Amino acid sequence: MSKKNLHPSVIKFKEFVRNNPSLIKEVRSGKATWQELFEDYYLLGEEDSRWESIGKTETSNVKEETEAKGDWMSTIMGTLQNMDPNQIQHYIGNLSQALGAIQGVISQFQGSNNPTGQVKPQMEHRHPFLFRKD
């Protein structure tokens, strides 16, 4: 559908959206639909306080996310400080054994029949395409 066939209010709404990219983020995040935004734009106009609140909630959400990340890091650091070093060593040993078992299973699937885990060198062929005269 070309711009000539669009209603003038739709064209104005598209320009309004281009000037307010926070509306796009609002729709992509699932907080609103294009239909809802268009209806609000059509009924309330461009100067309504609703459009200002969209940009402000976006910046406050960014601040909350950075604070949440900081809280997460402080939680991890607090947990590490409260752990017993012997307990950590025990967990690392268990993890090492589990990784060794996984490596053993993988080597079996790869066809490695060598129990020591060493790879045998393959024999080199001097002439990979040996043609014989009849």
Q: Helix (H, G, I), strand (E, B), or coil: what is residue 119?
A: coil
Q: Residue 65: inside a domain, yes or no?
A: yes
pLDDT value, residue 55: 63
In a domain, 115, yes or no: no
pLDDT value of position 106: 92
Q: Domain for residue 46, yes or no?
A: yes
**Residue range 1-28: mean pLDDT, rounded:** 83
> Token pair for residue 81?
């400080």
Range of the domain at 61: 3-96
Task: Assess if residue 48 is contained within a domain.
Answer: yes
Instruction: Note the pLDDT tens digit of each residue in 89-133.
Output: 888 888 899 999 999 999 888 875 555 555 555 555 565 566 666
Query: Distance between CA atoms of 11 and 132, rounded to whole angstroms?
Result: 79
pTM higher than 0.85: no
Residue 134 confidence class, pLDDT cut points 50, 70, 90: low
Establish if 132 belongs to a structural domain: no
Tell me, what's the pLDDT at 132? Answer: 62
Q: Is the CB of residue 24 less than 8 Å from the CB of residue 32?
A: no
pLDDT of residue 127: 58
In this prediction, residue 22 carries a pLDDT of: 87
Which tens digit of pLDDT belongs to each residue from 18-67? 988 888 888 888 888 888 888 888 888 888 778 787 765 545 555 566 66
Is 104 among the domain residues? Answer: no
In a domain, 34, yes or no: yes
What total of structural domains would you count in the chain? 1
Q: Is residue 87 part of a domain?
A: yes
CA–chain centroid gap for 7, Å, is: 39
Predicted confidence at residue 56, as pLDDT, reads 57
